[in-house]
Structures are given as structure tokens and as C-alpha cells.
Amino acid sequence: MSGVLVIAEHRQGVLREATLECLGAALALAPMIGGEVTTLLLADDPSALAGEITGRTQGLKLYAHPELAAFNPELYAPVIMDAISALQPSLVLMPHSSQGMDLAPALAGRLGLPLVTDCTGLAWQDGALTVRRAVYGGKAMQELALKPADTVVATLQAGAYQAPAAGAVDTAAESTTLTELAPRHARRFLEYLAGAVEDVDIAAADILVSVGRGIGGPDNIPQAQALADALGATLSCSRPVADAGWLPKSRQVGTSGKTVRPKIYLALGISGAFQHQAGMKNSGTIIAVNSDARAPIFQVAHYGIVADLFEVLPKLAERFGG
């Protein structure tokens, strides 16, 4: 048994970025494990999605059937279980998403395999998987060494790895058109329900000015907005700010908000728990302002200012506003 099997995820005809991040992790792990990276893509027309995966995985297995257009675990699981039995991978990897949290336990339970979820780091030591996971709300990191097993199922936290560059490896693709699927019993897909229209898409911004609990309250938000306006930036926030209702949920960065990759990310008064870091750590340049020199945000920041943000904000606004 060897190699890594990545389960691709797509939604409404679009491949999810988290799949490419899983491929980045898989390609890093494969030399330690031995064997190659194989990606499994189930869809009504998988060839339409294959282009983004090609060049990022050594093997690509495409399974086509009209009823695989939208995720349904009762239809997906039997196909994936057959692939696991045939390929015998050492690791089955998928995103820690709503789909992954539904599918991974089902696969592990039905096949009697060990399962580890919400991983932020993966390594292979002495023939076994070692993982890192955030605990206590991101205030600490846990390292787990699993017992050696023929196959392990794992889910990967969004933002934990970068997607590999296109053309990183040569890909051999194989297509299968399924004539029938396992009979469904309890679930069937009805429709996608779109969320409320957002006031702004922070994921599309080149520059983000992001505020955290250190902003103090809603009355101080206009100061951050003034800086954002001076920079031609978009205002975003950490979870405590959104939970308090100081800014809309659509502005939240992090695992329970949005993953962003702006050219510049200015973090004001954000402590930087892992959940927030996972949503922004791949930004081009990260600048953090926090009065606590030990704040976790400084671990990922390229530039840091240890100071009261209310002393820094006016100077930045004056500098860029003028």
C-alpha cells in the first residue's frame, strides 16, 4: 500500500480551491510515503473540471454520471470505496469542508479505517501519519502520531497548504462512464440555496484593512474605514467583530468566514488565532498592528508594529490620505 488518494470537491460546476490545497499537501507527502498522488473526480462531466487538476497530480481518475453533478454521500461513497479498495492508498485526503465532514467519517466507518480531521499539518514518520491540529479555539496546536495502518482517512483545513503550480508533475488521466449507481435510500439533492447578497466580496480585494477585537467597538470602525478609503482598500474583520455585529458577516476573514489572498493585508488589533490565520496567511504582504508583542498574528506577519492601534491609525490615514 502506498501513495495518496485525493478526493476532489466541486460545487455548481466549479472546482473548489481546497482541492488544490490538498494536492499541495499530497505532493509534499508522497515522497515520504512512497508512491504517487492520484486524484478522484466524480461529476456529471468531470472532463470540464479536469484542466485545473491536470499537472498537479500524477494520476487522475474521472468518473462520470449525470447524478454525480451535486454531492450526495449515498452516491459518492460506494464509488470512492471501490477506488480505495482497488488503489490501496496509504492516505485518503480531502478538504475539511461540509462535504469532507460528511464523507470522511462515512468512508472510515464503512471500511474500518482510522480517521483524523481538521488537520493543519501532515507528515509521515516511521511508516505512520503525524498531524497537527488546532485546539482550544486556536490558542494551541496539538500534534498527534497515529498508529501505523494500511490506510488512513484525513481531512485538511482550508488554507493549511498552498496549491501546487500548474505543470508541477505529469498527469495520466483515466475516464470511466458509470452506467448505474448505488440505490439511494434516504438522501437526494434538491437544489442549491444561495446565501444573502453580500455588500462586498472581500475575496476579490487587492488590499484589505482588517479589524479585530482591538478596535474597541463600533464607534471606532469609521477610523479604520477612513484608512481603507485612503488606501483604496476594502474593510474586513475577524470573527469577534462579526459576531458582535460591528461589521457584516460577509466581511469576516477566517475558517468560518472567507479565505482571502490580497496583495496587502493590514491587520489592526487582531490577535490572530489559527482560524483567522488560515483565512489570510497566504496574502502577499501581511502587516500587523497589535499592542501585544506575543500575539499569534506576528507569527505570519511580514511586518509588525507593537503599538496602540489608535496611535498608528491616524498617522497611517494622514500619510496615505495626504
Displacement of CA 194 from its chain's centroid (Å)? 20
On average, the pLDDT of the chain sits at 91
| Structure letter (DSSP) for residue 99 | H
pLDDT digit string, tens, across residues 104-155 = 999 999 999 999 999 989 999 888 999 998 777 666 778 999 999 999 999 9
Q: How confident is the model at residue 72 (pLDDT cuts 50, 70, 90)?
A: very high
Nearest to 272 by CA among 211, 228, 231: 211
Count other Cβ atoms within 10 Å, centred on residue 81: 15
Nearest to 108 by CA among 93, 86, 87: 93
Q: Say what the pTM is.
A: 0.79
Span 282-286, average pLDDT: 92
Task: Extract the annotated binding site.
Answer: 213, 238-239, 252-256, 269-276, 290
pLDDT digit string, tens, across residues 35-71 = 999 999 999 999 999 999 999 999 999 999 999 999 9
In this structure, what C-alpha cell is assigned to residue 72?
Answer: 450526495
Which pLDDT score, from 0 to 100, does residue 32 have?
Answer: 93
Alpha helices in the chain (DSSP H): 17-33, 50-53, 73-87, 98-111, 221-231, 239-243, 274-280, 309-321
CA dihedral 223, 258, 240, 232 (to 10 degrees): 0
Burial track 98-136 (b if 16+ CB lie within 10 A, e otherwise): ebbeebbebbbeeeebbbbbbbbebebeeeebbbbbbee
Q: Are 276 and 292 in contact (CB under 8 A)?
A: no
| Structure letter (DSSP) for residue 153 | E
Residues 273, 37: Cα–Cα separation, whole Å: 31
Residues 180, 177: Cα–Cα separation, whole Å: 9
pLDDT digit string, tens, across residues 223-233 = 999 999 999 99
Task: Extract the annotated binding site for FAD.
Answer: 213, 238-239, 252-256, 269-276, 290
Span 19-39, average pLDDT: 95
The residue with greater pLDDT, 55 or 189, is 55
Residues 21, 161: Cα–Cα separation, whole Å: 5
Q: What are the chain's domains?
A: 4-177 (3.40.50.620), 202-321 (3.40.50.1220)
Q: Are 240 and 212 in contact (CB under 8 A)?
A: yes
Say which residues have a Cβ less than 8 Å from residue 109's Cβ, sequence separation at least 6: none
Residues 219, 195: Cα–Cα separation, whole Å: 28
pLDDT for 322 beyond 70: no
Q: How confident is the model at residue 191 (pLDDT cuts 50, 70, 90)?
A: confident
Q: How confident is the model at residue 196 (pLDDT cuts 50, 70, 90)?
A: low
